Amino acid sequence: MRVHRIGLAALTMLTVACTPAEGGANPAAGAKTTSVAPAGVALKVEEVATGLEHGWDVGFLPDGQVLVTQRPGRLALIGGTAPGSPVTEVAADFSDVLVKGEGGLMGMVLHPDFAQSRKFVTCQTHQEGGRSVDVRLVNWTLAADGRSATRVGDLLTGLPVNPSGRHSGCRPLLAPDGALLVGTGDTASDPTISQNRSSLGGKVLRIDLNTGEGLPDNPFASSADPIERRLYTFGNRNVQGVAIRPGSGQIFIAEHGPTVNDEINLVRPGANYGWDPSRGGTTDDYDESVTMTDTERFPDAVPAQWTSGDITEAICGAAFLTGPQWGALEGRLAVVALKGQKMLLFSLDDAGAVTEVTLPPEFDDTYGRLRAARTGPDGALYVTTSEGDDDKLLRFTQG
């Protein structure tokens, strides 16, 4: 077990001015300046479990155990949240999972009645006879002893897929109102997908957890197209994190940029987020030189709340720090990064604008690539590493 503690006063904090840049480009990342951090706060990281491989998502069982999806098509059951908890492989048939590149067994959510039904949903790339078919949401039940899981049918099929696995998405989150939110990827192939409201790719979906259908209060609920009825946003590139701000209902997403401008976006129902590598349908190529949020082509496109500027961090899982145990950190949005190998803590004003970004240094290059970020029932933040060799489930608390 490794435990790291550090005084928060030692953290570097970045003040971010999120104002739209000229010429329809993304909001500027803003000037970075040091500021004084809250005094007397310590951070602690514990290694709950090791021996994972590309842990992708985390689900907390009512009995205190933890399910972790692993991208190569494996499901792990961790015996608890204490450091050094045992890891057991769950027997399940993932033979249809397309494990390639960024694709495989990805996001997961547990049903709210899991204690009775044992139901959970995974998001996975699907292949038949070695041929890539789609990305889909799949229903499962976990055996009473936790040692096996049985597939009980598909919840939603037809999310587009790239045979290489690139930009597969696919982060689900159960909202307090019972809606299932799903951030999806644009496949980095057909350049029209993100702007095409008859495609499920490059979107945030809002669907019924039991039927997979669009909900009646969705922004395009009156559409004749059942795909469009499921859409909550469009014009996204590759959504990797979805988080709901407690007490406000604000939905934030973490999105990969091409070679610049990863984005933190505030979701507005029915809104366009401005990604269009087809340049308005004028090219068949997937043109990654276009701006992430093209407000020249799409004047109503929603500007990002924050961007990474002239670099990419490959931001991924996102969750809010909730509860008085976090002290001065309560209410911050935690976002982990793959390429950047760090955690970013965003301070937000009431409207959802980013005011500060804190970088806890114990995450910088210490654990490598960081994938999932989920708040546990105990209020701690749980993070998975994604190095591909002896990956870990980490527990992040105030020390």
pTM: 0.93
Task: Kindly report, residue by residue over 281-310, the tens digit of the pLDDT.
Answer: 999 999 999 999 999 999 999 999 999 999
Report yes or no: 308 and 29 within 8 Å, Cβ to Cβ. Answer: yes
DSSP 95: T
Determine the 3-state secondary structure of 24 from DSSP: helix
Alpha-carbon 278 to chain mean position? 25
- CATH, residue 13: 2.120.10.30
So what's the pLDDT on residue 196? 98
Q: What confidence tens digit (pLDDT) does each residue in 10-63 have?
A: 344 443 434 333 223 333 343 232 233 445 556 799 999 999 999 999 999 999
Q: What is the distance between the alpha carbons of residues 373 and 44, in angstroms, rounded to a whole number? A: 15
**From start to end of 34-142, where are the E strands?**
42-52, 55-60, 66-70, 74-78, 87-90, 105-110, 119-128, 131-142
Place of tokens 């070679």: 259
pLDDT tier at 151, thresholds 50, 70, 90: very high
Q: Which two tokens stand for residue 234?
A: 């469009």
Report which residue type is found at 301. A
85-107, pLDDT tens digit by residue? 999 999 999 999 999 999 999 99
* pLDDT for the residue numbered 41: 58
Half-sphere exposure of 286 (CA within 13 A, CB side): 13
Per-chain mean pLDDT for the chain: 91
Q: Range with the lowest mean pLDDT among 172-176, 316-320, 360-364?
A: 360-364
Q: How confident is the model at residue 3 (pLDDT cuts 50, 70, 90)?
A: very low
DSSP string, 330-385: TTPEEEEESSS-SEEEEEE-TTS-EEEEEE-GGGTTTS--EEEEEE-TTS-EEEEE
| Rounded Cα–Cα distance for residues 261 and 225 (Å) | 32
What pLDDT was estimated at residue 87? 98
Cβ density class 41-60: b for 16+ within 10 Å, e for less? bebebbbbbeebbbbbbbbb
The pair of structure tokens assigned to 31 is: 């000037």
Of 196, 193, 130, 121, nearest to 156 by C-alpha is 121
110-149 residue pLDDT tens: 999 999 999 999 999 999 999 999 999 999 999 999 999 9
Q: Over range 331-352, report the average pLDDT.
A: 96
Residues 19-32 have pLDDT tens digits of: 333 223 333 343 23
Task: Using alpha carbons, select from 289, 94, 356 the residue that is nearest to residue 345.
Answer: 356
Question: Residues 234-284: pLDDT tens digits?
Answer: 999 999 999 999 999 999 999 999 999 999 999 999 999 999 999 999 999
Band (pLDDT 50/70/90 cuts) for residue 399 is: confident
* pLDDT on residue 14: 44
Distant-in-sequence, close-in-space partners of 111: CB < 8 Å, separation ≥ 6: 117, 119, 120, 121, 209
Whether pLDDT at 219 is above 50: yes
Q: Which residue has the tokens 């970045």?
A: 14
What is the domain range of residue 278?
A: 3-398
Query: Does residue 108 register a pLDDT over 70?
Result: yes
CA dist 80 and 140 (Å) reads 21
pLDDT tens per residue, range 373-398: 999 999 999 999 999 999 999 999 98
> Total structural domains in the chain?
1
Read off the tokens for 241.
Answer: 């994190």
